[in-house]
Amino acid sequence: MNNFHRAIQQKDENKAEKMVDFVVVTKDAQEFHRENLAKNPQHYSLLRLFGPKCLEKIQCNFAARVYYNTHVNVGKRKIKYGIISYENAKQDLLDWRWIYISGRLHKPVLDVIKPKDDMCDLVTENRRSALHSALLLLPESFTLKQLFHKIVGLSYTGDFRMIVGEDRNKIEKIVEGNYEELMRVYEPLMNDDARLSVMTPAKVIQDGSTTAIYHRLNLLPSEVLNRIQRNMNKAQKRQRDAEEVIFSLAHRHDVAATVETAIGGIIRPISISQTAKNAFSAGITRSAIYSIAKMSKFLKSK
Q: Per-residue pLDDT tens, the chain, 302 aa: give them.
A: 777 756 556 666 666 667 889 999 999 999 999 999 999 999 999 999 999 999 999 999 999 999 999 989 988 889 999 999 999 999 999 999 999 999 999 999 988 888 889 999 999 999 999 999 999 999 999 999 999 999 999 999 998 877 765 677 899 999 999 999 999 999 999 999 999 999 999 999 999 999 999 999 999 999 999 999 999 999 999 999 999 999 999 999 999 999 999 999 999 999 999 999 999 898 866 665 555 455 455 445 55
pLDDT attached to residue 17: 66
pLDDT attached to residue 295: 43
Instruction: Determine, yes or no, domain membership for 55.
Output: no
Instruction: Determine, yes or no, domain membership for 71.
Output: no
Instruction: Determine, yes or no, domain membership for 197.
Output: yes
Backbone angles phi, psi at 5, to 5 degrees: -115, 120
Beta strands 77-85 and 20-26 are parallel
Nearest residue to 146 (alpha-carbon basis) of 159, 134, 129: 134
Cα–Cα distance measured from residue 80 to residue 302, given in angstroms and rounded to the nearest whole number: 26
Instruction: Determine, yes or no, domain membership for 273.
Output: yes
Instruction: Determine, yes or no, domain membership for 125.
Output: yes
Instruction: Determine, yes or no, domain membership for 266.
Output: yes
Instruction: Determine, yes or no, domain membership for 86.
Output: no
Instruction: Determine, yes or no, domain membership for 282.
Output: yes
- Please state the domain count of the chain: 1
pTM of the full structure:
0.90
Which residue range forms the structural domain that includes residue 116? Answer: 101-301
Buried b (16+ CB within 10 A) or exposed e, 76-103: eeebbbbbbbbebbbbbbbbbbbbbbbb
Q: What contacts 74, CB < 8 A, 6 or more positions away? A: none
